[in-house]
Structure 1
Amino acid sequence: MIPPKPFASERRKGVARYANAFRQDLLSALPAKLFRAWMAEFRSFPIHSFLCNDPDLVSLVLRERPGDFPKSNRLREGLAPLLGRSVFVTNGEEWQRQRRIIDPAFEGGRLRDVFPHISGAAQAAVARLGAGGEMDIEPFTSHAAADVIFRTLFSIPIEDRLAADVFAAFRAHQDAQPIVNPAALIPLPGWLPRLHSRRTRVTARQIRALITQLVDQRAQEIAQGNAPDDLATKIMTMPDPETGEKFSPPEMVDQVAIFFLAGHETSASSLAWALWLLATSPDWQSRVADEAGQILGESPAFSDVSRLKLSRAVFRESLRLYPPVPMMVREAACPEHFRDRQVPKGAQIVLSPWHLHRHERLWDNPDGFDPGRWDSENGRDCARRAFIPFSAGARVCPGAGFAMLEGPLILSMILRDYRLEPTDEIPVPVARLTLRGKDGIRVRISPRAPV
């Protein structure tokens, strides 16, 4: 089976039609020719955008000259009620200061430190599957990914009352929030009220109020000297090496909000699609299950994860076919010249993992599910040049290493104990806050018979 993707129209649209189409579904709103084009220019007043699939342009924007292509201010229009001025939406010195404080908490040695939290969440997730049955796998993976975030950030499982409230509020916010706010398409003056729905504003306030409780509670524990040595403590006590300043409580609320959004939503999306892909590929499912049975014991060790090569390949292939964040937007800080086109200052530079990862002139069998591709010459080349599920360069996601530890581990632990089968309902990917199934992602799960 060829993994599903939404139908993409070739019909040209004006700004009004694009605005309406983007609010409904970002993926099908764009033309199919983008899976073949190196670059495309869109000019519908007041929008002037360049979508870049040329790997050299992607590298220029993300790796070589990121300072000349800051994140577009339009990006935060739809996310501002929730994320405030978190590291995800800021630029310049403000962003640099935030990364100087955040990055040490995510350095390599921390993976080993947080592994017990991740392993504990994975074991709890497997236990929740119980006798299995037919189910929408997205709520399950959301629950599992949220549990990882709560344990690694605040040393509390999702069963904690406050953690459960935050999780429920995030689910409601995702349902309420379109991926594109009208102000992201049409520049508005700062004094003009933004057109966020009432439900979006209400759910964002609920989430931030709950996160404030977590941050205030941790601040008290730090002051009393009995705070656990987890990510929240690490970040809240880390001074900026240049100024000596630490995050204020409101700044920490902003950062925790993006950690939940980026770490929870993206991991949940990738894991759900990986499970569905394995349900439709019995051969790869058997291979991953066999690998897990040979390597993982009752209580997995940190060193086991590096040996889960098949599970890692499947998870990478899921990230390729269904990148959790399907598009990234930068802005040209000065006039540029891309592929014989003049790019004016202020133009939107769109980098689309959704199109880049399936580009017909880059990948062999671009729409097919083939975890073995990563050992091929084409796969290795594209991994370097055309694979950006966590962005790249200076603004690469600081939690990328955590995701590549968490995803294959949970996947392997599920496949070790359970068998997956597809249902008659084929999921349709749609871009909301992350790439999810339009009507869920359904699979049939049953306990795997002991060997």
Structure 2
Amino acid sequence: MKPPKPIPRPDKVSLWRYLKLFRKDLLSAQPQRLYRAWMAEFRTPFFRSFMINQPELVDTVLKQRPEDFPKSDRISEGLRPLLGDSVFLTNAETWKRQRRIIDPAFEGGRLKDTFPAMSEAVQASVDRLRGQAGTVVECEELTSHVAADVIFRTLFSVPIEHDVAAQVFDKFRAYQRQQPLLNLAAFVPVPRWVPRLHARKTRRNAKDIRALITRLTAERAELIANGQAPDDLATKIMTTRDPETGSRFNTQEMVDQVAIFFLAGHETSASALAWTLYLMALYPDWQEKLCAEAQAVGEPSFGSMSKLRLSRDVFREALRLYPPVPMMVREAACPETFRDRGIAKGSQIVISPWHLHRQERLWDNPDDFDPTRWGTENGKACQRNAYIPFSAGPRVCTGAGFAMVEGPLVLSTLLRHFRFELVEGRTPVPVAHLTVRSKDGIWLRVVER
């Protein structure tokens, strides 16, 4: 069973046509040969890029020698107006210090502590959706709303209806549709002192979002100082000292981190959940299996999440077919040789979950939607070696465990209460905004059970 493709994949495209297609239709932009190649080279007038699609090479870059392949500044340029110097963009000692402060907030029992707030946000989404039952709903908006609510409740102990939270959500929706994954600075060498080539609306929305986050952060700092702060993720991060230096995040640094928490914890979850709902409408037999599982479990608790095995496998399969971040870019910090090919210092190394998750030499039936694959030997091997929806190695997403609780929880709860059905003539086309979204939204009919 294969999700439909917009058009047949071309076998070859020029770089400039590729970039144009990449924004227009992510699937059809990818030459067929990239799904079976171990490595490919792209040339621009200014530098070379190498896509690596072989597990051993990906392992070298992400796990074995990550300091030799830092985050690429070229890609960071498009995100800096919003994210500043957040942990998602930094490298070397700055990044290490940030992770030492952030990681404890997501360890062990902290995930259990955030579950009640997460569950409240999911129930609120059910209550909102009841008023839309029987109508056609744009599911990216639905999942964006619940994912944003989860973030604000777990990070700042406020629901999405909170005045500032609502404003951040509204402005971020505008930002993500204006900001491409790549901008011109990724392809043209622009010195640091030259003004960045960002759209005026993009800059204004980023400035407004950061001002709102600054307000929330300053209010929390005051509560912490007065001993009145709730025990949530923001308080944990703002009160954690770097074990090596004893320093804590100042307000500006915390604003940078909150911006990436919102991007990573809201935008990526919203993308993954919307595509999962589409797949459930496309394959109603699986939708009914998940409904039955959710009904058997009943009102979920943190302890019962392990019983939602089918929901977890379906969500994992949706992340394989529609990874929210389709490509990651690193930069060679020194000359390198991959597959007998010389790679100059400064070359861009592209790691693509989109291609790796559909690599024809690795996966059985890579284009098929098959949640049972995770119980097969091939699926288990590929999960270890060719499955990176949250990246891998030292820079693996801090919130990966958080997402793998949130996703099955939202999915199983929605399917326990509602059935999602396809709408004729509304086949979604994946495109690359900040994450993998649908060109014209994901429209499904919602029926209350």
Asked whether the two chains share a fold, i.e. TM above 0.5, the reply is yes
Paired positions, count? 445
Once the two structures are superposed, residues 339-382 of structure 1 have per-residue CA deviations (whole angstroms, 9 ceiling, x without a partner) of 11111111111000001111111111111111111001111010
Question: Which residue of structure 1 aligns with residue 415 of structure 2?
Answer: 415
Distance 2:251 2:129 in 1: 37
Q: Taking structure 1 as reference, are residues 356 and 67 closer, same or farther at Cα in structure 2, changes over 3 Å only?
A: same
Q: Taking structure 1 as reference, are residues 11 and 391 closer, same or farther at Cα in structure 2, changes over 3 Å only?
A: same
Once the two structures are superposed, residues 67-107 of structure 1 have per-residue CA deviations (whole angstroms, 9 ceiling, x without a partner) of 11111111211001000000000000000000000000011
Once the two structures are superposed, residues 180-209 of structure 1 have per-residue CA deviations (whole angstroms, 9 ceiling, x without a partner) of 110011111112111101111011011001
Once the two structures are superposed, residues 131-185 of structure 1 have per-residue CA deviations (whole angstroms, 9 ceiling, x without a partner) of 5121111100000000000000000000111110000010010121111110011
Question: Which residue of structure 2 aligns with residue 433 of structure 1?
Answer: 434
Structure 2: runs of 5+ lacking an equivalent: none
**For the aligned residues, what is the CA RMSD?**
1.3
Question: Which residue of structure 2 aligns with residue 91 of structure 1?
Answer: 91
Q: Which amino acid aligns with 1:84?
A: G
Question: Which residue of structure 2 aligns with residue 169 of structure 1?
Answer: 171
For residue 231 of structure 1, the aligned residue among 226, 233, 238 is 233
Q: Which runs of at least 4 in structure 1 moved beyond 2 Å after TM superposition?
A: 4-12, 16-30
Q: Contact 1:101/1:246 (CA < 8 Å) preserved in 2?
A: yes
Q: Contact 2:353/2:388 (CA < 8 Å) preserved in 1?
A: yes
Question: Which residue of structure 2 aligns with residue 258 of structure 1?
Answer: 260
Q: Quick check: 1:158 aligned with 2:178?
A: no
Q: Contact 1:269/1:434 (CA < 8 Å) preserved in 2?
A: yes
Q: Quick check: 1:403 aligned with 2:408?
A: no
Q: Contact 2:68/2:333 (CA < 8 Å) preserved in 1?
A: yes
Distance 2:337 2:126 in 1: 52
Distance 1:145 1:21 in 2: 29
Distance 1:307 1:90 in 2: 38
Distance 1:59 1:35 in 2: 18
How many Å apart are 1:47 and its aligned residue?
A: 2.8
Q: Quick check: 1:138 aligned with 2:140?
A: yes
Query: What is the TM-score normalised by the length of structure 2?
Result: 0.97
Distance 2:30 2:181 in 1: 14
Q: Which amino acid aligns with 2:151?
A: I
Distance 1:363 1:125 in 2: 35
Q: Which amino acid aligns with 1:50?
A: F
For residue 194 of structure 1, the aligned residue among 180, 193, 196 is 196
How many Å apart are 1:327 and its aligned residue?
A: 0.2
Matched residue of 2:196: which SS?
coil
Q: How does 1:203-282 map to 2 (within 5 A)?
A: 203-282=205-284
Query: What is the TM-score normalised by the length of structure 1?
Result: 0.96
Q: Taking structure 1 as reference, are residues 108 and 58 closer, same or farther at Cα in structure 2, changes over 3 Å only?
A: same
Distance 1:39 1:173 in 2: 33
Distance 1:25 1:77 in 2: 23
Matched residue of 2:78: which SS?
helix
Structure 1: runs of 5+ lacking an equivalent: none
Distance 1:315 1:29 in 2: 25
Q: Contact 2:180/2:434 (CA < 8 Å) preserved in 1?
A: yes
How many Å apart are 1:13 and its aligned residue?
A: 1.5
How many Å apart are 1:65 and its aligned residue?
A: 0.9
Q: Taking structure 1 as reference, are residues 20 and 290 closer, same or farther at Cα in structure 2, changes over 3 Å only?
A: closer
Q: Contact 1:23/1:181 (CA < 8 Å) preserved in 2?
A: no
How many Å apart are 1:387 and its aligned residue?
A: 0.3
Q: Quick check: 1:66 aligned with 2:66?
A: yes
Q: Quick check: 1:333 aligned with 2:338?
A: no
Q: Taking structure 1 as reference, are residues 90 and 302 closer, same or farther at Cα in structure 2, changes over 3 Å only?
A: same
Once the two structures are superposed, residues 184-237 of structure 1 have per-residue CA deviations (whole angstroms, 9 ceiling, x without a partner) of 111111121111011110110110011011001101111111000000000011
